[in-house]
Amino acid sequence: MAGTIQISDNLSLPQPSIEPQPSATPSAAESDPWIFRDGKRVVNGLELLGDLRRRIASALSSSTLLDALIEAGELEAALADAGSKSAESAARVADCLASAVIHGDATALAQAATYAEQITAPDTLTIAPPEGFTYYALHPSDFARLAETLDSQRYAVIGIRSIGTTLSAVVLTALTTQGKQAGRITVRPTGHPYSRQTDFSADQLRWIGENRGAQFLIVDEGPGRSGSTFLSVAEALVRAGVPRHEITIMGSREPDLGSLCADNAINRWREFRFVATAPSVNQRFAECTYVGGGDWRQYLFPAGQPWPASWMQMERLKFVSADQQILYKFEGMGPIGAEARHRACRLAQAGFGSQVSDAGGGFLAYELVKGTQARIQQTNASILARIADYCAFRYAELGTLCSAEEAQLREMLEFNVAQEFGIALALPSDSLRTQRPLTTDGRMNPHEWILNDSGQLIKTDGVDHGDNHFFPGPCDIAWDLAGAVVEWQLGSDASNFLVDQFRRRSGVNVSPELSLYKLAYSVFRLGFCKMAVSTVKGSTEELRLLNAYRQYRAIAQDLLQTHLHH
């Protein structure tokens, strides 16, 4: 690339990874690696309520209105979990916003604003991201369309918190709009994820009794891996005297009964009627080419070039327009989706990301960058300076009000090192601390950067990986710098150059912490690849993931030995 300089004449560059070869599966640990973080957040209740009121007041577009509905469901669920009397007012807000979203009811939007003023929020509330809305493109309207196909005249709707809160409001709206009699409550099953239990309160049992003879609808996304959450509510209704034929489970996907891991799941599941939504996203992008699930690699990589590994089931939905000018990617609905839109726009405005616009329904439309993906062999001072610029920008501009999760990050590192290497890594309690938590990029791999036709390095896919259900969550910028060192396979000279360039731009020296962050990053990535292997047995992807697992493990092992000797 013109105008660049070499860091040094003898800077050694590693060879590119070769196509993976068949080999033995990594040895099974006593338990799975820890890669999913606890996404629950403790927030200021007054600030959350104020944010919802502002969203309602400014709900001028479909995106902001949808964000308001989802946030109303989050608030209702949090207030219900806290036992607050204001949960009832929050439920009215959610019901009104559901009507506004599904039917464009302006009067309902005004009513939502009125009900929101009646809510009193405590100082602190615990919320969790509604995963279907945030990560999996589950649109509330899909549940409304399914509810409209139901043929009874009287319904009792039970939403499973958290996301089932919003979905139950949407289902209620769809039913009552058709003139059907319906009411709703929400419940929070507890216990182990594979063996949930539901216990109705006295008020809920009274409500169930008042609705005898109605069809009971249990509403949530899923079922998940176990199916036990849905089953716990259905079986609790049976214990409360509701006949099985009056119970319907309403979810977002048909279950694979053989894979459900709850105890006696197949027989228990067959005791109840189940109906699933049809995702509207398929129709919306029918004229586009699907490039999710790892399919993007056939467009990005020349024929014969090895592909990077992908946990295909965990990728966001992505489509390329018919004219191949636009990439539509799902970045999330609700407050988290609004934050993602903000990040994407800021990155584009700063020249680090491609131009972007809101495509609605949680999707963003990115202009496809013309150029070639960066490669390790191209590493030079100009590229490393550009990466340093990028990290400095994220540090300065993409901070978050969410608390950093240093303790959880440290515990993840200790747990996974013990599981993978049999070493008790007792770190100081202040390890991986940060004074400025931010939403990291999380994917600093060379193939995530495009050299455009002007020779500028553009970052792709820089919006969502630092704010999903995997580690690290809000943390220090050192995570991205460590990721760049690991993924670009930088030697000590190049690594020091990158860190120094970042220091010059940000005024922050990450050198003392970088080694531990490299260890945490590589240990997380080996765990990620190791767990992903189990989902693609017998496929070519298994070989890629095994290869990536072994590479990250070798890096982590070297870093671990260095750490232990210091």
How many Å apart are CA 405 and CA 74, to the nearest integer? 21
- CATH C-level class of 131-279: alpha beta
How big is the CA angle at 114 (ends 78 and 83), to the nearest 5 degrees? 25
Residue appearing with tokens 């240093």: 406
What pLDDT shows up at residue 28?
36
pLDDT tens track of the chain, all 566 residues?
333 223 333 333 333 333 344 444 443 334 689 999 988 888 999 999 999 999 999 886 778 899 999 999 999 999 999 999 999 999 999 999 999 999 988 899 999 999 999 999 999 999 988 999 999 999 999 999 999 999 999 999 999 999 999 999 999 999 999 999 999 999 999 999 889 999 999 999 999 999 999 999 999 999 988 999 999 999 999 999 999 999 999 999 999 898 888 999 999 999 999 999 998 898 899 999 999 999 999 888 888 889 999 999 999 999 999 999 999 999 999 999 999 999 999 999 999 999 999 999 999 999 999 999 899 999 999 999 999 999 999 999 999 877 777 899 999 999 999 999 999 999 999 999 998 999 999 999 999 999 998 889 999 999 999 989 899 999 999 999 999 999 999 999 999 999 999 999 999 999 999 999 999 999 999 999 999 998 899 999 999 999 999 999 999 999 999 999 87
Instruction: Kindly report, residue by residue over 147-175, the tens digit of the pLDDT.
Output: 999 999 999 999 999 999 999 999 999 99
If one counts every other C-beta atom within 10 angstroms of the C-beta of residue 148, the result is 14
What pLDDT shows up at residue 39?
84
Query: Hey, is 291 helix, strand or coil?
Result: coil
Q: Cβ distance 306 to 18 under 8 Å?
A: yes
What pLDDT shows up at residue 31?
61
How many Å apart are CA 412 and CA 380, to the nearest integer? 34
pTM: 0.88
- How far is C-alpha 182 from the geometric centre of its chain's CA atoms? 32
Q: Cβ distance 175 to 182 under 8 Å?
A: yes
Task: Report the candidate in 134, 44, 23 with the shortest Cα–Cα distance to residue 469.
Answer: 134
Please state, in angstroms and as integers, the Cα–Cα distance from residue 390 to each residue in 187, 346, 406, 457, 461, following that order. Answer: 44, 12, 23, 10, 13
What pLDDT shows up at residue 401?
74
CATH 3.90.1200 fits 284-564, yes or no: yes
